[in-house]
Amino acid sequence: MTEELCRLTAVEQAALIRGREISSVELVRAHLDRIEAHNPAVNAIVTLAPERALHEAHDADRRLARGESPGPLHGLPVAHKDLHLTAGLRTTFGSPTLADHVPDSDDLVVERLRAAGAITIGKTNTPEFGAGSHTFNPVFGTTCNPYDLTRSAGGSSGGAAAALAAGFQPIADGSDMGGSLRNPASFCNVVGMRPSAGRVPSWPSTFGFSGLSVQGPMARTVSDVALTLSVMAGPDDRSPIALTTPGETFRAPLERDLTGLRVAWTPDFGGLVPVDPDVLAVLGRQVTAFEQLGCHVDDACPDFTGADDVFRTVRAWQFAQAHGALVDRSTEQVKESLRRNVEQGRALSGEDISRAEALRTELFHRMRGFFTHYDVLLAPVCQVVPFDAALEYPTTVAGTVQDDYLGWMRSCYVVSAVGNPALSVPGGFTADGLPVGLQIIGPHRADLTVLQVAHAFERLTGHGHHAPAL
Protein backbone atom coordinates (compact mmCIF):
# COMPACT_ATOMS: atom_id res chain seq x y z
CA MET A 1 0.00 0.00 0.00
CA THR A 2 2.87 2.38 0.82
CA GLU A 3 4.41 2.07 -2.62
CA GLU A 4 1.03 2.39 -4.38
CA LEU A 5 0.22 5.54 -2.42
CA CYS A 6 3.62 7.08 -3.03
CA ARG A 7 3.36 6.37 -6.76
CA LEU A 8 0.12 8.33 -7.17
CA THR A 9 0.44 11.72 -8.80
CA ALA A 10 0.40 14.86 -6.67
CA VAL A 11 -2.99 15.75 -8.16
CA GLU A 12 -4.35 12.36 -7.10
CA GLN A 13 -2.82 12.52 -3.60
CA ALA A 14 -4.22 16.01 -3.01
CA ALA A 15 -7.68 14.89 -4.15
CA LEU A 16 -7.64 11.90 -1.77
CA ILE A 17 -6.82 14.18 1.15
CA ARG A 18 -9.49 16.74 0.23
CA GLY A 19 -12.02 13.92 -0.10
CA ARG A 20 -11.04 12.54 3.36
CA GLU A 21 -10.13 9.19 1.77
CA ILE A 22 -6.68 9.38 3.34
CA SER A 23 -5.23 11.67 5.99
CA SER A 24 -2.18 13.86 5.74
CA VAL A 25 -0.60 11.76 8.48
CA GLU A 26 -1.13 8.58 6.45
CA LEU A 27 0.41 10.16 3.36
CA VAL A 28 3.42 11.56 5.20
CA ARG A 29 4.02 8.27 7.03
CA ALA A 30 3.90 6.37 3.74
CA HIS A 31 6.59 8.60 2.26
CA LEU A 32 8.71 8.47 5.41
CA ASP A 33 8.53 4.66 5.31
CA ARG A 34 9.64 4.65 1.69
CA ILE A 35 12.48 7.06 2.45
CA GLU A 36 13.62 4.84 5.32
CA ALA A 37 13.60 1.77 3.06
CA HIS A 38 15.32 3.19 -0.01
CA ASN A 39 17.04 6.52 0.67
CA PRO A 40 20.22 4.90 2.09
CA ALA A 41 20.91 3.54 -1.41
CA VAL A 42 19.85 6.66 -3.32
CA ASN A 43 20.98 9.45 -0.95
CA ALA A 44 18.46 11.97 -2.27
CA ILE A 45 17.09 13.25 1.06
CA VAL A 46 19.97 14.59 3.14
CA THR A 47 18.31 16.24 6.13
CA LEU A 48 15.17 14.42 7.24
CA ALA A 49 12.70 15.95 9.70
CA PRO A 50 10.16 13.19 10.47
CA GLU A 51 8.90 14.56 13.81
CA ARG A 52 8.36 18.02 12.34
CA ALA A 53 6.63 16.54 9.30
CA LEU A 54 4.24 14.40 11.34
CA HIS A 55 3.45 17.33 13.63
CA GLU A 56 2.57 19.45 10.57
CA ALA A 57 0.52 16.58 9.12
CA HIS A 58 -1.52 16.21 12.32
CA ASP A 59 -2.15 19.96 12.27
CA ALA A 60 -3.20 19.78 8.59
CA ASP A 61 -5.71 17.03 9.41
CA ARG A 62 -7.14 19.02 12.32
CA ARG A 63 -7.59 22.11 10.16
CA LEU A 64 -9.36 20.09 7.48
CA ALA A 65 -11.62 18.51 10.12
CA ARG A 66 -12.56 22.00 11.35
CA GLY A 67 -13.79 22.81 7.87
CA GLU A 68 -10.94 25.10 6.85
CA SER A 69 -10.49 25.37 3.11
CA PRO A 70 -7.42 23.35 2.08
CA GLY A 71 -4.69 24.83 -0.07
CA PRO A 72 -3.88 23.23 -3.43
CA LEU A 73 -0.95 21.29 -1.89
CA HIS A 74 -2.65 20.50 1.42
CA GLY A 75 -0.93 17.59 3.14
CA LEU A 76 1.61 16.84 0.38
CA PRO A 77 5.13 16.07 1.67
CA VAL A 78 8.01 18.07 0.16
CA ALA A 79 11.74 18.01 0.78
CA HIS A 80 13.24 21.36 -0.28
CA LYS A 81 16.45 21.80 -2.26
CA ASP A 82 19.38 22.37 0.07
CA LEU A 83 20.11 25.69 -1.65
CA HIS A 84 16.75 27.04 -0.45
CA LEU A 85 16.56 28.55 3.02
CA THR A 86 14.23 26.71 5.42
CA ALA A 87 13.46 28.30 8.78
CA GLY A 88 14.52 26.07 11.65
CA LEU A 89 15.86 23.35 9.33
CA ARG A 90 19.50 22.94 8.41
CA THR A 91 20.47 24.43 5.03
CA THR A 92 24.06 23.58 4.08
CA PHE A 93 24.34 24.52 0.39
CA GLY A 94 26.35 21.29 0.21
CA SER A 95 29.33 23.08 1.72
CA PRO A 96 31.43 22.24 4.80
CA THR A 97 31.50 25.98 5.52
CA LEU A 98 27.75 25.88 6.23
CA ALA A 99 27.36 22.31 7.49
CA ASP A 100 25.59 23.46 10.67
CA HIS A 101 23.73 26.46 9.22
CA VAL A 102 20.11 26.77 10.42
CA PRO A 103 18.29 29.75 8.86
CA ASP A 104 15.65 31.77 10.71
CA SER A 105 13.53 32.41 7.59
CA ASP A 106 12.27 30.64 4.47
CA ASP A 107 13.09 31.42 0.87
CA LEU A 108 10.06 32.85 -0.91
CA VAL A 109 9.57 29.65 -2.92
CA VAL A 110 9.50 27.59 0.31
CA GLU A 111 7.19 30.13 1.93
CA ARG A 112 4.72 29.78 -0.96
CA LEU A 113 4.75 25.97 -0.98
CA ARG A 114 4.10 25.86 2.75
CA ALA A 115 1.35 28.50 2.52
CA ALA A 116 -0.35 26.26 -0.06
CA GLY A 117 -0.40 23.40 2.44
CA ALA A 118 2.79 21.48 1.63
CA ILE A 119 4.47 19.72 4.55
CA THR A 120 8.24 19.97 4.94
CA ILE A 121 9.85 16.55 5.40
CA GLY A 122 13.49 17.52 4.85
CA LYS A 123 16.03 18.73 2.28
CA THR A 124 17.31 17.32 -1.01
CA ASN A 125 20.95 16.97 -1.97
CA THR A 126 22.82 19.38 -4.24
CA PRO A 127 26.40 19.98 -5.38
CA GLU A 128 28.34 22.53 -3.36
CA PHE A 129 26.62 25.91 -3.92
CA GLY A 130 24.85 24.34 -6.91
CA ALA A 131 28.05 24.40 -8.99
CA GLY A 132 27.71 21.64 -11.57
CA SER A 133 25.17 19.18 -12.93
CA HIS A 134 26.31 16.16 -10.93
CA THR A 135 25.09 15.98 -7.33
CA PHE A 136 27.90 15.28 -4.87
CA ASN A 137 29.43 17.25 -2.03
CA PRO A 138 31.73 16.68 0.97
CA VAL A 139 28.91 17.08 3.50
CA PHE A 140 26.51 14.38 2.30
CA GLY A 141 28.24 12.52 -0.53
CA THR A 142 26.80 11.51 -3.90
CA THR A 143 23.18 11.13 -4.96
CA CYS A 144 22.61 8.03 -7.11
CA ASN A 145 20.22 7.54 -10.00
CA PRO A 146 17.25 5.34 -9.01
CA TYR A 147 17.27 3.76 -12.48
CA ASP A 148 20.89 2.63 -12.03
CA LEU A 149 22.52 3.25 -8.66
CA THR A 150 25.98 3.38 -10.25
CA ARG A 151 24.97 6.40 -12.34
CA SER A 152 24.63 10.15 -11.76
CA ALA A 153 21.24 11.64 -10.94
CA GLY A 154 22.31 14.91 -12.58
CA GLY A 155 22.21 18.25 -10.84
CA SER A 156 22.18 20.62 -9.30
CA SER A 157 18.62 19.62 -8.32
CA GLY A 158 19.74 15.99 -8.45
CA GLY A 159 18.49 15.13 -4.99
CA ALA A 160 15.05 16.47 -5.89
CA ALA A 161 14.86 14.51 -9.16
CA ALA A 162 16.08 11.28 -7.57
CA ALA A 163 13.60 11.71 -4.70
CA LEU A 164 10.73 12.09 -7.17
CA ALA A 165 11.78 9.08 -9.25
CA ALA A 166 12.18 6.96 -6.11
CA GLY A 167 8.74 7.93 -4.76
CA PHE A 168 10.06 9.86 -1.76
CA GLN A 169 7.89 12.92 -2.55
CA PRO A 170 5.26 13.84 -5.15
CA ILE A 171 6.54 17.34 -6.03
CA ALA A 172 9.80 19.24 -5.58
CA ASP A 173 11.30 22.68 -5.77
CA GLY A 174 14.59 23.41 -7.48
CA SER A 175 16.61 26.06 -9.26
CA ASP A 176 18.15 26.32 -12.71
CA MET A 177 21.12 28.42 -13.80
CA GLY A 178 22.64 26.21 -16.49
CA GLY A 179 20.16 23.32 -16.53
CA SER A 180 19.73 22.39 -12.88
CA LEU A 181 16.00 21.66 -13.18
CA ARG A 182 16.12 20.14 -16.66
CA ASN A 183 19.31 18.06 -16.50
CA PRO A 184 18.39 15.94 -13.44
CA ALA A 185 14.82 15.56 -14.70
CA SER A 186 16.23 14.06 -17.89
CA PHE A 187 18.56 11.71 -16.00
CA CYS A 188 15.80 10.54 -13.60
CA ASN A 189 12.81 10.30 -16.00
CA VAL A 190 10.77 13.05 -14.33
CA VAL A 191 9.59 16.50 -15.43
CA GLY A 192 11.58 19.63 -14.64
CA MET A 193 10.70 23.13 -15.78
CA ARG A 194 12.84 26.24 -16.07
CA PRO A 195 10.21 29.03 -16.01
CA SER A 196 10.62 32.45 -17.58
CA ALA A 197 12.61 34.93 -15.53
CA GLY A 198 10.27 36.56 -13.00
CA ARG A 199 7.63 33.85 -13.31
CA VAL A 200 8.69 32.47 -9.92
CA PRO A 201 9.94 35.47 -7.94
CA SER A 202 13.06 34.91 -5.83
CA TRP A 203 13.75 36.34 -2.42
CA PRO A 204 16.21 36.81 -0.86
CA SER A 205 18.26 37.29 -4.03
CA THR A 206 21.66 38.84 -4.61
CA PHE A 207 20.71 39.70 -8.21
CA GLY A 208 17.20 41.05 -7.93
CA PHE A 209 17.09 42.80 -11.29
CA SER A 210 18.92 40.34 -13.50
CA GLY A 211 20.61 36.99 -13.45
CA LEU A 212 20.79 33.57 -15.02
CA SER A 213 19.26 31.51 -12.24
CA VAL A 214 15.54 30.91 -11.76
CA GLN A 215 13.60 28.76 -9.32
CA GLY A 216 10.93 26.35 -10.47
CA PRO A 217 9.04 23.06 -10.12
CA MET A 218 9.77 19.38 -10.64
CA ALA A 219 7.39 16.42 -10.47
CA ARG A 220 6.64 13.06 -12.08
CA THR A 221 3.98 14.45 -14.47
CA VAL A 222 3.44 17.67 -16.39
CA SER A 223 0.14 18.26 -14.59
CA ASP A 224 1.90 18.02 -11.24
CA VAL A 225 4.55 20.48 -12.44
CA ALA A 226 1.79 22.88 -13.50
CA LEU A 227 0.09 22.49 -10.12
CA THR A 228 3.34 23.27 -8.32
CA LEU A 229 4.07 26.21 -10.62
CA SER A 230 0.61 27.59 -9.89
CA VAL A 231 1.67 27.94 -6.26
CA MET A 232 5.21 29.20 -6.92
CA ALA A 233 4.27 31.78 -9.57
CA GLY A 234 2.66 35.20 -9.20
CA PRO A 235 3.66 38.73 -8.26
CA ASP A 236 5.53 39.64 -5.09
CA ASP A 237 6.77 43.10 -4.19
CA ARG A 238 10.07 41.69 -2.90
CA SER A 239 11.10 40.86 -6.47
CA PRO A 240 11.60 43.77 -8.89
CA ILE A 241 11.11 41.52 -11.95
CA ALA A 242 8.16 39.42 -10.72
CA LEU A 243 5.60 38.89 -13.47
CA THR A 244 2.05 39.95 -12.67
CA THR A 245 0.27 36.90 -14.13
CA PRO A 246 -1.49 35.10 -11.26
CA GLY A 247 -0.16 31.66 -10.42
CA GLU A 248 -3.66 30.22 -10.66
CA THR A 249 -3.34 30.56 -14.45
CA PHE A 250 -1.35 27.33 -14.46
CA ARG A 251 -4.04 25.40 -12.56
CA ALA A 252 -6.30 25.31 -15.62
CA PRO A 253 -6.59 22.06 -17.65
CA LEU A 254 -3.60 21.57 -19.96
CA GLU A 255 -5.48 19.77 -22.74
CA ARG A 256 -5.02 21.51 -26.09
CA ASP A 257 -5.47 20.52 -29.73
CA LEU A 258 -1.99 20.75 -31.27
CA THR A 259 -3.20 20.45 -34.86
CA GLY A 260 -1.22 22.88 -36.98
CA LEU A 261 1.31 23.70 -34.27
CA ARG A 262 4.63 24.70 -35.82
CA VAL A 263 7.40 22.63 -34.26
CA ALA A 264 11.14 22.94 -34.85
CA TRP A 265 13.55 20.11 -33.98
CA THR A 266 17.29 20.48 -33.56
CA PRO A 267 19.47 17.50 -32.59
CA ASP A 268 22.59 19.61 -31.97
CA PHE A 269 21.63 23.29 -31.77
CA GLY A 270 22.77 23.98 -35.31
CA GLY A 271 26.05 22.09 -34.92
CA LEU A 272 26.99 24.02 -31.78
CA VAL A 273 26.55 21.10 -29.37
CA PRO A 274 28.01 17.57 -29.64
CA VAL A 275 25.48 14.93 -28.54
CA ASP A 276 25.98 11.26 -27.70
CA PRO A 277 24.57 8.99 -30.46
CA ASP A 278 22.59 7.03 -27.84
CA VAL A 279 20.72 10.21 -26.89
CA LEU A 280 19.97 11.08 -30.49
CA ALA A 281 18.82 7.54 -31.26
CA VAL A 282 16.18 7.80 -28.53
CA LEU A 283 15.00 11.33 -29.27
CA GLY A 284 15.00 10.93 -33.03
CA ARG A 285 12.19 8.41 -32.62
CA GLN A 286 10.12 10.84 -30.54
CA VAL A 287 9.78 13.56 -33.16
CA THR A 288 7.18 11.49 -34.98
CA ALA A 289 4.94 11.76 -31.91
CA PHE A 290 4.40 15.43 -32.73
CA GLU A 291 3.40 14.54 -36.26
CA GLN A 292 0.86 12.12 -34.79
CA LEU A 293 -0.47 15.03 -32.73
CA GLY A 294 -1.07 17.00 -35.93
CA CYS A 295 1.95 19.30 -35.72
CA HIS A 296 4.08 20.51 -38.61
CA VAL A 297 7.66 19.50 -37.78
CA ASP A 298 10.78 20.97 -39.41
CA ASP A 299 14.50 20.59 -38.79
CA ALA A 300 15.32 24.14 -37.75
CA CYS A 301 17.25 26.01 -35.06
CA PRO A 302 17.75 29.60 -33.93
CA ASP A 303 21.20 31.14 -34.25
CA PHE A 304 22.79 30.62 -30.82
CA THR A 305 26.00 32.47 -31.72
CA GLY A 306 27.37 34.15 -28.61
CA ALA A 307 25.35 32.06 -26.13
CA ASP A 308 28.50 30.42 -24.76
CA ASP A 309 30.13 33.78 -24.15
CA VAL A 310 26.97 35.18 -22.54
CA PHE A 311 26.47 32.28 -20.15
CA ARG A 312 30.08 31.80 -19.11
CA THR A 313 30.77 35.50 -18.64
CA VAL A 314 27.61 36.35 -16.71
CA ARG A 315 27.88 33.17 -14.63
CA ALA A 316 31.52 33.84 -13.66
CA TRP A 317 30.70 37.44 -12.72
CA GLN A 318 27.77 36.32 -10.57
CA PHE A 319 29.81 33.59 -8.87
CA ALA A 320 32.49 36.12 -7.97
CA GLN A 321 29.90 38.48 -6.51
CA ALA A 322 27.94 35.79 -4.65
CA HIS A 323 30.74 33.55 -3.38
CA GLY A 324 33.94 35.60 -3.51
CA ALA A 325 33.95 36.61 0.15
CA LEU A 326 33.31 33.03 1.27
CA VAL A 327 36.11 31.70 -0.92
CA ASP A 328 38.46 34.30 0.59
CA ARG A 329 37.53 33.23 4.13
CA SER A 330 37.51 29.47 3.54
CA THR A 331 39.72 28.84 0.54
CA GLU A 332 40.68 25.29 1.47
CA GLN A 333 37.12 24.27 2.40
CA VAL A 334 35.44 24.93 -0.96
CA LYS A 335 35.93 22.81 -4.05
CA GLU A 336 38.52 23.78 -6.62
CA SER A 337 36.05 24.38 -9.44
CA LEU A 338 34.18 26.94 -7.33
CA ARG A 339 37.43 28.75 -6.52
CA ARG A 340 38.29 28.80 -10.23
CA ASN A 341 34.88 30.23 -11.14
CA VAL A 342 35.36 33.05 -8.64
CA GLU A 343 38.83 33.77 -10.04
CA GLN A 344 37.41 33.89 -13.57
CA GLY A 345 34.72 36.32 -12.47
CA ARG A 346 37.20 38.63 -10.75
CA ALA A 347 39.35 38.69 -13.89
CA LEU A 348 36.50 40.12 -15.97
CA SER A 349 36.53 43.75 -17.03
CA GLY A 350 33.59 46.08 -17.40
CA GLU A 351 34.04 45.74 -21.14
CA ASP A 352 33.71 41.94 -20.86
CA ILE A 353 30.44 42.21 -18.97
CA SER A 354 28.97 44.87 -21.25
CA ARG A 355 29.90 42.79 -24.30
CA ALA A 356 28.12 39.77 -22.82
CA GLU A 357 24.99 41.80 -22.07
CA ALA A 358 24.95 43.20 -25.60
CA LEU A 359 25.31 39.69 -27.02
CA ARG A 360 22.52 38.55 -24.75
CA THR A 361 20.21 41.20 -26.17
CA GLU A 362 21.10 40.22 -29.73
CA LEU A 363 20.39 36.59 -28.87
CA PHE A 364 17.01 37.52 -27.42
CA HIS A 365 15.98 39.25 -30.64
CA ARG A 366 17.18 36.34 -32.81
CA MET A 367 15.10 33.98 -30.66
CA ARG A 368 12.14 36.36 -30.87
CA GLY A 369 12.41 36.33 -34.65
CA PHE A 370 12.70 32.54 -34.77
CA PHE A 371 9.50 32.13 -32.76
CA THR A 372 7.53 34.20 -35.25
CA HIS A 373 7.89 31.14 -37.50
CA TYR A 374 7.65 28.36 -34.88
CA ASP A 375 5.60 27.78 -31.74
CA VAL A 376 8.09 25.55 -29.90
CA LEU A 377 11.61 24.24 -30.32
CA LEU A 378 12.53 20.63 -29.49
CA ALA A 379 16.08 19.64 -28.54
CA PRO A 380 18.01 17.21 -26.36
CA VAL A 381 18.07 18.11 -22.68
CA CYS A 382 21.40 16.40 -22.06
CA GLN A 383 24.26 15.65 -24.40
CA VAL A 384 25.04 12.36 -22.64
CA VAL A 385 23.18 9.55 -20.90
CA PRO A 386 23.50 9.30 -17.10
CA PHE A 387 27.19 8.69 -16.50
CA ASP A 388 29.26 6.89 -13.86
CA ALA A 389 28.51 8.55 -10.51
CA ALA A 390 32.17 8.20 -9.52
CA LEU A 391 33.17 10.73 -12.19
CA GLU A 392 33.18 14.47 -11.51
CA TYR A 393 31.85 15.13 -15.03
CA PRO A 394 32.07 13.66 -18.55
CA THR A 395 35.37 14.70 -20.09
CA THR A 396 34.31 13.80 -23.64
CA VAL A 397 30.97 14.02 -25.47
CA ALA A 398 30.55 12.18 -28.77
CA GLY A 399 34.33 12.12 -29.12
CA THR A 400 34.74 15.83 -28.37
CA VAL A 401 36.96 16.70 -25.40
CA GLN A 402 35.31 19.02 -22.85
CA ASP A 403 37.55 21.74 -21.43
CA ASP A 404 35.82 21.92 -18.06
CA TYR A 405 32.84 20.74 -16.02
CA LEU A 406 30.46 23.10 -17.85
CA GLY A 407 31.02 21.83 -21.38
CA TRP A 408 28.70 18.82 -21.24
CA MET A 409 25.85 21.07 -20.01
CA ARG A 410 25.84 23.26 -23.13
CA SER A 411 22.53 21.89 -24.45
CA CYS A 412 20.85 23.43 -21.40
CA TYR A 413 22.91 26.53 -20.72
CA VAL A 414 22.63 28.05 -24.19
CA VAL A 415 18.89 28.28 -23.48
CA SER A 416 19.54 29.76 -20.03
CA ALA A 417 21.58 32.50 -21.70
CA VAL A 418 18.48 33.90 -23.41
CA GLY A 419 15.92 33.11 -20.68
CA ASN A 420 13.14 31.38 -22.63
CA PRO A 421 10.94 28.92 -20.73
CA ALA A 422 12.13 25.33 -21.18
CA LEU A 423 11.02 21.98 -19.85
CA SER A 424 12.43 18.45 -19.72
CA VAL A 425 9.84 15.71 -20.25
CA PRO A 426 10.59 11.95 -20.27
CA GLY A 427 11.57 11.07 -23.85
CA GLY A 428 12.31 7.36 -23.71
CA PHE A 429 15.09 4.98 -22.71
CA THR A 430 18.33 3.70 -24.17
CA ALA A 431 18.86 0.00 -24.86
CA ASP A 432 20.50 -0.15 -21.40
CA GLY A 433 17.36 1.24 -19.72
CA LEU A 434 18.73 4.72 -19.02
CA PRO A 435 16.31 7.68 -19.20
CA VAL A 436 16.58 10.38 -21.86
CA GLY A 437 14.72 13.69 -21.62
CA LEU A 438 13.26 15.79 -24.43
CA GLN A 439 13.65 19.56 -24.06
CA ILE A 440 10.67 21.70 -25.09
CA ILE A 441 11.55 25.40 -25.44
CA GLY A 442 8.95 28.11 -25.92
CA PRO A 443 8.83 31.78 -26.91
CA HIS A 444 9.53 34.51 -24.39
CA ARG A 445 7.18 34.05 -21.38
CA ALA A 446 5.15 31.32 -23.13
CA ASP A 447 5.31 29.03 -20.10
CA LEU A 448 1.74 27.80 -20.54
CA THR A 449 2.38 26.79 -24.16
CA VAL A 450 5.39 24.75 -23.08
CA LEU A 451 3.32 22.96 -20.45
CA GLN A 452 0.48 22.24 -22.88
CA VAL A 453 2.79 20.79 -25.52
CA ALA A 454 4.66 18.70 -22.95
CA HIS A 455 1.36 17.41 -21.55
CA ALA A 456 0.19 16.26 -24.99
CA PHE A 457 3.51 14.49 -25.68
CA GLU A 458 3.47 12.87 -22.23
CA ARG A 459 -0.06 11.53 -22.69
CA LEU A 460 0.73 10.09 -26.12
CA THR A 461 4.05 8.42 -25.22
CA GLY A 462 3.72 7.52 -21.53
CA HIS A 463 7.48 7.31 -20.93
CA GLY A 464 7.11 8.76 -17.45
CA HIS A 465 5.03 5.79 -16.29
CA HIS A 466 8.10 3.54 -16.21
CA ALA A 467 9.25 3.68 -12.58
CA PRO A 468 12.64 2.42 -11.34
CA ALA A 469 12.86 -0.97 -9.66
CA LEU A 470 14.39 -0.15 -6.29
Q: Which of 23, 81, 133, 213 is catalytic?
A: 81
Q: Which of 133, 152, 180, 202 is catalytic?
A: 180
Longest dimension (CA), the chain: 63
User: What 3 state SS string does the chain have?
Assistant: CHHHHHHCCHHHHHHHHHCCCCCHHHHHHHHHHHHHHHHHHHCCEEEECHHHHHHHHHHHHHHHHCCCCCCCCCCCEEEEECCCCECCECCCCCCHHHCCCCCCCCCHHHHHHHHCCCEEEEEECCCHHHCCCCCEECCCEECEECCEEEEECCCCCHHHHHHHHCCCCCEEEEEECCCCCHHHHHHHCCEEEECCCCCCCCCCCCCCCCCCCEEEEEECCHHHHHHHHHHHCCCCCCCCCCCCCCHHHHHCCCCCCCCCCEEEECCCCCCCCCCCHHHHHHHHCCHHHHHHCCCEEEECCCCCCCHHHHHHHHHHHHHHHHHHHHHHHCHHHCCHHHHHHHHHHHCCCHHHHHHHHHHHHHHHHHHHHHCCCCCEEEEECCCCCCCECCCCCCCEECCEECCCCCHHHHHHHHHHCCCCCEEEEEEEECCCCCEEEEEEECCCCCHHHHHHHHHHHHHHHCHHHCCCCC
Q: Which of 133, 156, 186, 411 is catalytic?
A: 156
Active site residue 123: no
Specify whether the CB–CB gap between 420 and 196 falls below 8 A. Answer: yes
What residues pair up with 81 in beta bridges, in sequence order? 124
Active site residue 81: yes
Point out the residues that are catalytic.
Answer: 81, 156, 180
